[in-house]
Amino acid sequence: MSSVNRVVILGAESSGKSILAEALAKHYQTMWVPEYLREFVEQNQRVPKAEEQILIARTQVKRETELLPKARQWLFCDTGPIMTAIYSRHYFGEPDSELAEMELSHQYDFCIVTAPDFPWQPDGLQRESAYVRDRVHQEVLDVLDEREIPFLLVEGSTQSRLEQVQFALSFLLS
């Protein structure tokens, strides 16, 4: 059994997930898992198709597994299969059965949701609009509530978010 706690950071586009994951890893002197979707979009110069969603989720989980032995106490995951499934439902309807199963079975020790309170900024092909960001944010909250997955909603500046998470993680270790 690993002594590393896996923390997933969920949120809609342009809500500060990557910035927070990197800041947390730096603060705790540990590893973070960047979002594979961003890399996929940059390499392929397009967003993934419905049938590629499972590849996105599998690669994300594979990278978590690869970095887990290098992490110290915490592994901060910039998104997870649940986020891939939420976007799959948003854009394509129900995800394929493997992604749906992965979404339900992949567990984390703690879940953070980033509020969409940063100004929305376009980022090439990966980001659509402030409207979509707000809709997806609500979808994230709805899924977590439906599944009774506890989460910490962080808001404000990066520093404020970092302090909110530090406070919550101190209780997780108690």
Residue 152 sits in a domain whose CATH number is: 3.40.50.300
Local structure of 106: helix, strand or coil: coil
Expressed as residue numbers, the domain containing 61 is 5-173
Predicted confidence at residue 123, as pLDDT, reads 64
Residue 1 above 50 pLDDT? Answer: no
Report the distance separating Cα 108 and Cα 53, nearest Å: 20
Number of domains making up the chain: 1
59 CB contacts (<8 Å, ≥6 apart)? 36, 40
Tell me which H or E stretch contains 119.
none
Provide the pLDDT for residue 2.
61
Token duo for residue 156: 């404000």
pLDDT at 116: 94
Q: Could you please report the per-residue DSSP string of 120-171?
A: P---GGG---HHHHHHHHHHHHHHHHHTT---EEE-SSHHHHHHHHHHHHHH
Report pTM. 0.93
Tell whether the model's pLDDT for residue 161 goes beyond 50.
yes
